[in-house]
Amino acid sequence: MINQHQQDSTGKKNEDPAKAPAGIEHIIVIGASSGGLEAIKTIVQNLPPGFSTPVFIVWHMSPDIHGILPQVLNRLNNIYAAHAYDNEAIQPNRIYIAKPDHHLIIENNRMRVTRGPKENRFRPAVDPLFRSAAYTYGNRVIGIVLSGALDDGTAGLVTVKRYGGVTVVQDPGDAEVPSMPRNAMREVEVDYAVPAAEIANLLVSLALKKPNENTVVMNDEQIKKEIEIAAEENALQKGIFDYGKLTPYTCPECHGVLSQLKEGSLVRYRCHTGHAYSLDTLIQSITENIEDNLYNVLRSMDESIMLLNNIGDHLAEANQPKLAALYFQKAKEAEDRSQLVRKAIFKHEHLSKDVMQQKAEITIDDKNA
């Protein structure tokens, strides 16, 4: 199959990523979330100061905080670290970090910094960085998934693998929060799973090797559209529904209809406004929304109970005891129903792949006991 670096689906030649800036043979993309800061610091601290391969990092963070990661990393190594800015040219011996509330996307020899739709409820998200790196640099990419919850980065690492890049995860046993590397390993036959302390030496070794020649490209056009959506293009106009199957599910963020996208065994969802979800993130989002909605119902029921009692008090003071008693009766009936909603809230569970896996393991252990 023709790699997109030589020819796209329309037959038009694309810019050859072989014409990378001088000194750049590979690029490294890193994704991390909860517990990932220490792993990132360990990797950067252990890299040789003259390490020329550019490094791109997405670390999940609150959108309203001031990004301090560049300052932290610059205290650890002479490799200059900074937040990427839009249309910045890629240079060797640099560490580029996604800004809070912005996706980091790679386009040929430059970067895009955008506020495209959230993926897996995050912006910046790991998948757009990995996806765009693989599409642009193909087998020159080294993708690394570090500590974090849920599975952002899994779909991106699948793309890196299929474009012939090298896939690395932090050993789940070494990760403070093992879900991200563990989920990536479920979907990707990763090339390396190592502790954070060993990743820098691995990167030095990999950067000296020629790119992998075994490249199997998936749907180029779909990948291209998804990158464009992250780059603030209109998802509906880009025809994202053409690449999936419409579902009865709605987007937890905007309530738009979700389309199911399949990449081998990996199933994802994207709505017509552009929000994207893995299966794991979608089930967690939906189960969280159930609790929120139940509390909204309970609030409304409590308000109705208070209002019915208030009206009953007013009617009793107005010497209308029969009508007042009816209001008090309806308040009591509403209170009885509200107790059922309270019980439903307290029994409700937030579900995820890891939670279900743990429950399955406990069930198996109980049966074997």
64's CB contacts (< 8 A; 6+ apart) are 100, 101
Please report the DSSP string for 231-264 in residue order: TT--TTTTTGGGGSEEEEEE-TTT-PEEEEEEET
Residue corresponding to tokens 């642009």:
136
Residue corresponding to tokens 């839009």:
86
The alpha carbon dihedral of 266, 135, 215, 93 has a sign of negative
Q: What angle do CA 33, 264, 280 make, to 5 degrees?
A: 35
The first and second tokens of residue 102, run together, are 């912005």
- The one catalytic residue in 127, 152, 174, 220 is 152
Q: Are 57 and 69 in contact (CB under 8 A)?
A: yes
d(CA 229, CA 232) in angstroms, rounded, equals 5
Q: Examine the residue annotation and report whether 33 is marked as an active-site residue of this protein.
A: yes
Q: Are 92 and 52 in contact (CB under 8 A)?
A: yes
- The one catalytic residue in 26, 60, 103, 272 is 60
In sequence order, the β-bridge partners of residue 167 are 143
Please report the DSSP string for 2-63 in residue order: --TTT--TTSPPPPPTTSPPTT-S-EEEEEE-TTHHHHHHHHHHHS-TT--S-EEEEE---T
Q: Examine the residue annotation and report whether 242 is marked as an active-site residue of this protein.
A: no
Q: Examine the residue annotation and report whether 152 is marked as an active-site residue of this protein.
A: yes
Task: Provide φ and ψ at 65, rounded to 5°.
Answer: -100, 160
Burial (CB < 10 A; 0-12, 13-18, 19+), residue 124, is buried
Active-site residue set: 33, 60, 152
